Amino acid sequence: MTDELVSVEDHRDRILSSIDPLPAFDQPLMEAFGLAAAEDVYASVALPGFDNSAMDGYAVVHADVASATEENPVHLPVVGEIGAGQASLLAMSPGTAVKIMTGAPLPAGADSVVPYEWTDRGVANVVITSSPEPGQHVRPRGEDVAEGDLLVQEGTVLGPRQIGLLAAVGRPSVRSRPRPRVVILSTGSELREPGTPLGHDAVYDGNSFLLAAAARQAGAIAYRVGIVPDEPRAFTDALNDQLVRADMVLTSGGVSMGDYDVVKEALAPLGTVWFGAVAMQPGKPQGFGTIGEDRVPIITLPGNPVSSYISFEQFVLPAIRRMMGRTPYTRPSADALLIDGLRSPEGRRQFARGILSVVDGRLAVTPVGPQGSHMIGDLAESDALIVVPEKVTWVEAGETVTVLPLDEEF
């Protein structure tokens, strides 16, 4: 326990430097959806894999139909028919046409396709009234992807387009990093589960839901354990029960200077978890370390809901992303015009809640309410954090501030 304030960066670096990306393994494509690729994937086949027709029509030799017009149509015998996936006819001679469907392989000898619309759709013979350009309506082999092309770079998050491409080149699986399993415990003898009766001195446990949802949004598998009372024994038991399924543990509450700060009381004696104060508001009391034989990382967050959420944003989100092999670790920031003046404590970085808008084509932000760290209503209304540096105690309306938009994918 130190009295000195640690900077936000130092605390984050402490966490990130003791967390490794989870080991990667080969996962079926749909399991890998949303994960970061842990290999460079090269095309082992070309796309298209063979010259094929882009239209329903007739495969022809261009020279045979070059002169075709409405007035002087070209007549050709139709010597066969090729549907997609039915390529029994492999070659044709000049002076003939082959009926061909979209996606079907072009027979050797043909070089162009006359669409149905320029013909009489003849079965034994076809009348062609217009000529394609040489090679027109043919999709050449390798036009899209050449064998050996780099398709997905290591670290790329596999979205629908990447998953589709990997399948299109015949990959059933891809090496990727799994979703971290994050166990979430909220501490507080005053807490009650939503849906149960609330006494005059109790509050509903919003944090375990907030943190579980945030963890899931970050890509993790969240195990919401729920409420643990302010009894070190109960906390330790709950923690030990959960360790087997945890790549990371999050706790909320019980880390400040109160009489019943159960997380600190239970973990400080282990000597593997640091507790201290970070130069931020809200979210000053923080803790981080490892527990159990497997040295599972544990991040202990303060109990006030807004503090808990902002601490998640600053410390847990980067940790989850690092485990998943995703970069960047922290949210991209933007500049915004501050609409109302904002007070900020000396020596601490304030993460104020704000609502984004656009004023005269410029990103703007309006601080929400009195900025209390218990105000989850205001938090829910906001869609950005306004970052006020440690040295600044007042920002005037009209000044430019740094914001962290909270709803953007990155």
Binding region for ligand AMP (CB under 6 A): 186, 188, 190-191, 203, 205-208, 252-254, 256, 258, 302-305
Q: At closest approach, how far in Å is the CB of 207 from ligand AMP?
A: 3
300 binds, among ligand AMP, Mg ion, none (CB under 5 to 8 A by kind): none
Locate 145 and state its tokens.
Answer: 């992807």
- Which residue lies nearest ligand AMP, judged by its C-beta? 303
Stretch that binds Mg ion, among 68-76, 178-186, 187-195, 369-377 (CB under 5 A): 187-195
For residue 196, how many C-alpha atoms fall within 13 Å in the half-sphere facing its CB? 10
Q: At closest approach, how far in Å is the CB of 317 from ligand AMP?
A: 19
CB atoms near residue 193 (< 10 Å): 12
Q: At closest approach, how far in Å is the CB of 226 from Mg ion?
A: 14
Token pair 């007549």: residue: 75
Stretch that binds Mg ion, among 112-120, 302-310, 324-332, 388-396 (CB under 5 A): 302-310
Locate 322 and state its tokens.
Answer: 């690092």
* Exposed e or buried b per residue across 237-262, where buried means at least 16 C-beta atoms within 10 angstroms of its C-beta: ebbeebeeebbbbbbbbbbbeeebbb
Locate 138 and state its tokens.
Answer: 């043919």
Which amino acid type is present at position 308?
Answer: S
Q: At closest approach, how far in Å is the CB of 252 from ligand AMP?
A: 5
CB 219 within 8 Å of CB 268: no
Helix (H, G, I), strand (E, B) or coil at 380: helix
325 binds, among Mg ion, ligand AMP, none (CB under 5 to 8 A by kind): none
Q: At closest approach, how far in Å is the CB of 376 from Mg ion?
A: 16
Cβ nearer to Mg ion, comparing 116 with 260: 260
253 sits near Mg ion (criterion: CB under 5 A): yes
Kindly give the pairing relationship between strand 394-395 and strand 342-343. antiparallel
CB 137 within 8 Å of CB 29: no
What Cα–Cα distance (Å) separates residue 229 from each residue in 194, 238, 402?
A: 16, 10, 39
Stretch that binds Mg ion, among 39-47, 129-137, 250-258, 282-290 (CB under 5 A): 250-258
Which stretch of DSSP H or E encloses residue 281?
Answer: strand 280-281
Q: Of 213, 296, 312, 190, nearest to 249 (Cα)?
A: 296
105 sits near Mg ion (criterion: CB under 5 A): no
Residue of 289, 297, 303, 318 interacting with Mg ion (CB under 5 A): 303
Q: At closest approach, how far in Å is the CB of 241 from Mg ion?
A: 20
Residue of 105, 107, 178, 188 interacting with Mg ion (CB under 5 A): 188
186 binds, among ligand AMP, Mg ion, none (CB under 5 to 8 A by kind): ligand AMP
190 binds, among ligand AMP, Mg ion, none (CB under 5 to 8 A by kind): ligand AMP
Helix (H, G, I), strand (E, B) or coil at 377: helix
Q: At closest approach, how far in Å is the CB of 264 from ligand AMP?
A: 10
* Interface residues toward Mg ion, by CB under 5 A: 188, 253-254, 303
